[in-house]
């Protein structure tokens, strides 16, 4: 009897310690998630002119982390699917914001040659640089108009031209934008025909975009193959589950099956990202 009591006490103590460790880990992860969302809302999203309440973002994310894995567990009773849903829900806001930022920078990169040609045309007609930028802002669409409008507002508020250029370069860390900033800064310091410089730079950027388009066309087949090869095993597993549910049941109802699903998920994710890296070519 005494041995049973000792064993029960040991099990309860182990369970209590495990629960305490899990709660401490969960508290740390939630605090880190809150800090990440607050930083993204105040920097990345603000740079994209998207203004959201970080507290509301955090509450929505926590609600999704509770409801979605709970629903998956309720319908499947599979710990692998539930854990995967929890992990995806936790990291999704970060990658979604990164995707929005990358899409915005890509759009800005495409708009930049046309914006430079507008500035060049206005300066050739006799306008100053500030007037040419104001004219380009009125004729262009976001995000390039937003970035130059913010720079123009800083200049009107008395910010130094070089500081305004540095702020705009910090908000948009892309190589094409760095070239434009360097051209404006050098022309401001040593002079020269800025209209011709910007015109030549616009032609160079347009040729670069044409080359990038050709590379994207050549690598499109590899990217599609990566998606197909990643989804094909999952499609086969789904088909076998529908055709032979009894034979496939241990894959979803035993710890060996759960371990197998975990390995499958890890290898599928690694394979997809490896193929993406192979087909990604920077000019």
What is the mean pLDDT of each successive set of 10 residues along the chain, which is 283 residues long? 63 65 67 72 70 77 84 83 85 84 86 89 83 86 87 85 84 84 80 81 87 81 80 85 84 84 85 80 64
Tell whether 202 and 244 lie within a shared domain.
Answer: no
Residue 152 lies in a domain: yes
pLDDT at 222: 76
pLDDT at 217: 81
Residue 2 lies in a domain: no
Of 167, 185, 212, which residue is a domain's last?
212
pLDDT at 105: 86
Contacts of 173 (CB under 8 A, 6+ apart): 105
pLDDT at 208: 86
pLDDT at 79: 83
Of 212, 235, 259, which residue is a domain's last?
212
Residue 131 lies in a domain: yes
pLDDT at 140: 85
Residue 101 lies in a domain: no
Instruction: Report the distance separating Cα 46 and Cα 190, nearest Å.
Output: 34
pLDDT at 221: 77
Residue 79 lies in a domain: no
pLDDT at 214: 83
pLDDT at 7: 64
Of 162, 193, 212, which residue is a domain's last?
212
Which 3 state secondary structure label does DSSP give 68?
A: helix
Tell whether 253 and 187 lie within a shared domain.
Answer: no
* Backbone torsion region of residue 16, taken as left when φ is above 0, otherwise alpha when ψ lies between -120 and 50, otherwise beta: alpha
Residue 193 lies in a domain: yes
Quote helix, strand, coil % in the chain, to nearest 5: 90, 0, 10
pLDDT at 22: 61
Tell whether 157 and 229 lie within a shared domain.
Answer: no
Residue 53 lies in a domain: no
Q: How many domains does the chain have?
A: 2
Tell whether 207 and 266 lie within a shared domain.
Answer: no
Instruction: Report the distance separating Cα 23 and Cα 1, nearest Å.
Output: 33
Domain that holds residue 201: 107-212
Rg, the chain, Cα only: 27
pLDDT at 25: 67
Tell whether 222 and 202 lie within a shared domain.
Answer: no
């Amino acid at each position: 009897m005494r041995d049973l009591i000792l064993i029960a006490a040991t099990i309860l103590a182990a369970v209590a310690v495990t629960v305490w460790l899990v709660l401490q880990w969960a508290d740390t992860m939630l605090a880190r998630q809150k800090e990440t969302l607050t930083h993204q809302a105040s920097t990345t999203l603000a740079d994209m002119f998207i203004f959201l309440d970080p507290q509301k973002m955090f509450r929505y994310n926590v609600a999704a982390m509770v409801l979605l894995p709970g629903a998956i567990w309720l319908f499947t009773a599979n710990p692998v699917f539930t854990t995967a849903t929890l992990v995806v829900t936790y990291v999704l806001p970060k990658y979604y914001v990164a995707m929005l930022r990358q899409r915005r920078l890509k759009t800005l990169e495409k708009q930049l040659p046309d914006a430079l040609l507008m500035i060049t045309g206005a300066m050739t007609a006799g306008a100053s640089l500030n007037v040419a930028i104001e004219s380009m802002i009125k004729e262009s669409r976001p995000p390039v108009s937003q970035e130059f409008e913010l720079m123009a507002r800083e200049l009107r508020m008395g910010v130094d031209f070089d500081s305004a250029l540095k702020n705009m370069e910090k908000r948009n860390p892309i190589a094409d934008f760095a070239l434009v900033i360097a051209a404006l800064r050098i022309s401001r310091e040593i002079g020269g025909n800025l209209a011709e410089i910007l015109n030549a730079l616009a032609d160079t950027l347009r040729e670069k975009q044409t080359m990038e388009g050709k590379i994207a066309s050549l690598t499109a087949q590899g990217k599609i193959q990566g998606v197909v090869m990643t989804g094909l095993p999952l499609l086969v597993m789904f088909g076998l589950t529908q055709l032979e549910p009894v034979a496939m049941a241990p894959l979803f109802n035993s710890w060996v099956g759960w371990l197998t699903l975990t390995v499958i998920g890890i290898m599928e994710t690694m394979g997809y990202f490896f193929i993406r890296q192979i087909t990604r070519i920077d000019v």
